[in-house]
Structure 1
Amino acid sequence: MDPTSHLRLSLGFVATVMNMLFGTDRGRKNLLSPGAIEILYTSYFSPVCMGDIAGMLGVTPSSATDLVNYLEREGFVRRVQDPDNRRVIRVVPAKKGELWLLETEEKIYGFLESRLSRLPPQERYLFASLCSQFTGVEDEMTFISEISAFKKDRESVKIPLITYKDGNLLRLEEVVDKRYETDPFPYSSKESSVMFEKRVPETVEGIQDEITAAAYDIMQRGLRDAGLLPVDDLIKETQPGDNGLEIGPGPGYYGLEWVKKTDGTTLTGLEISPAMIRLATNNAISYNLNDRVRYQEGNALMMPFEDNLFSLAFSNGSLHEWEDAGSVFLEIHRMLQPGGRVMVTDLKRDLSPEIFSFMQGSCSSEEIKKGFETSVRAAYRKEELEEILFKIPFSSSQVIAHPYGLVVLARK
């Protein structure tokens, strides 16, 4: 049997098993339809509002409302007001919905563990890695972006299998055997093209006007609420009592979440935009952290701090705006204490079209969408950052690429 048909049988088996585990093989006897299950899972893992559900499912608003009404009536979800905008109604799982999801996941994980146990230990990691390459899914964000992209062009991936002979349709196995008899892999691979080959520097003055700053604040707050700020990764680089420097904090949520979740830490945020400093200062007050956090206006090319002052320096999403990244990294090195650590996360210029489309679609306004594209155009690629860091006297440094950005880790 050719490899593609072999894979088709295996995936058909997995799809059938998953339908059984979700209960969708029982038809009307099942309490939850596929659409209801998608609402329940989406609301469990990320905030979802009523206005998003119709687009998410590809149905009319009235059909989406009917599904939510059913889930609420059966006790699986609740409607709640968004605490930041009382006009927005969010859908969240009720206890019954959470229990259903967890019981279903017990069965799914049990199935996966039992099947993985058939493989030798070293092959389990290889299989998981190959599955990630096959699907393009490495984490929650890439899962969402790949699903979103596939929904848009689900009809474009088909191959011609409908064949007539003497007015009759040929059977599937006959057509498939013919397709693969000389070449088991006839599909031409479409390499993901680099969307923006040449780097185009963005503004070096940050977001200065109040209206755009407020829109950016809303977007960053949404990323925080969805758990999409890499705070947990930063905490892994943290030591108790760290004196932290954040370069380009914007409205401050990344650093504020870090301070809130760590013991004895203090934070200084260096920001070039007065509008952002005002927002960040107000946000620090709302976090009740203004005694551990301060913000200072300044340019990262000439930071107004003494040598060996900070034990940790970090930034999220501002690297592409640095006027001269090499000079900024030298400044960071100067201000770090011996043994001090660096973590810088940002976009990358060679995003896949699927990830780019998903991330841009998540932006809250047309102005922010345009700004996102200019930010991607201004971002670096892995090899470009490695060349910059090679010239900085860190005792160690590395650049890690993931599907939607880059991470710089370094130590003085």
Structure 2
Amino acid sequence: MITKTILTALISLLVLMTIIFQACKKDEEESNKAPSCEITSPSAGEDFMENEIVTITVIAADSDGSITEVRFYIDGVSKASVNNSPYSCDWNTNGESLGNHILKAISVDNNGASATDEVTIAIIVASNIPVSDFTATPTSGGVPLTVNFTDQSTNNPTSWEWDFGDGNNSNEQNPSHVYNDMGVYDITLTVANDDGSDTKTGSNFIIAKDVFTDSRDGQNYYIITIGDQTWFAENLNYEATDSWWYKDDEANGNIYGRLYTWDAATMACPGGWHLPADDEWKTLEMFLGMSQSDADAIGMRGANEGERLKSLSGWNSGTGTDQYGFAALPSGERDQNGNFLYKGDFTALWTATPHAEYEIAWYRFMDGGEDRVGREESNKLYGYSVRCIKND
């Protein structure tokens, strides 16, 4: 009898525990919160041209777990599945029908719960609004500089409005324009047809340089104003004691100028011009965006000031953008033992500032593989290039 009573009690206890377990499991399942799912791009009702790429972007989150998957559907057809944030996919509309399409996203959390969002967008016929584009030849040279502009706009524009950046304009499709004043000019072309208009601006697109003639030997040099300073836009090529063409080749001199010891460099510039001091180089560099602390530092400094000063061609690597017409060329160097080195990859330019105690002086340098400008001190017997700056 006692055994039967114990057995009955054990069975009752087992049933009770099973009920409690199932209830706890049910409570746990019921406590799982569904994730969120929101299509943030594109917007509902947005139009896209046929053949355009549509990027679908979703924000999904789960307050009591994690998102394991976001599924993407186009008109009910599975397009992609993404397991990690950011949740997005690209839909190429090439070949898709014109009209409305339903974009749907489903987010799934780590417990299998899900949420859905959808938007309707439309694919429409590609626009015939023109797209402005142009080229020009040449884009740099001495004044008076004649530039031929060529319209390369698409979608059949029927009118053209050019702004040459110097107060002059033209309504011709392919105009020519003469720049009489030294400067750096933005070019703007607005094109239009019956469907609409478009505008493109080329910043610092034309660089018109003045010409200076050195009365000592009749050589001509391009000059350019950058900020409040006027610089030679070429390396000096005046023959002086302790100066050399690279490898003593006149052809190199015609391109890169001469290489001077520091003592020779300090005396080489023509009347009205001088070898720039270290601080004058800093003024140029800070005009280009370098901070004062970077300008005062030693070694490579700044961000992309070297790239903006380097010429558009001539470098074996790391060609510049020549944004202001300075056109720094890779003229190489001559070491104190008479060895010529690094033409095509490197340029060094003297400053007029010597070291306070030692027989060395400050110089600037640029490398083909580097966008910044270097600042160091060097033995005065080295042969470096010279850029003259105009006296105040």
Place the TM-score, normalised by the shorter chain, in its bin: under 0.3
Higher relative contact order (CA 8 A, sep 6+): 1
Larger radius of gyration: 2
Higher strand proportion: 2
TM-score, normalization by structure 2: 0.26
Higher helix proportion: 1
TM-score, normalization by structure 1: 0.25
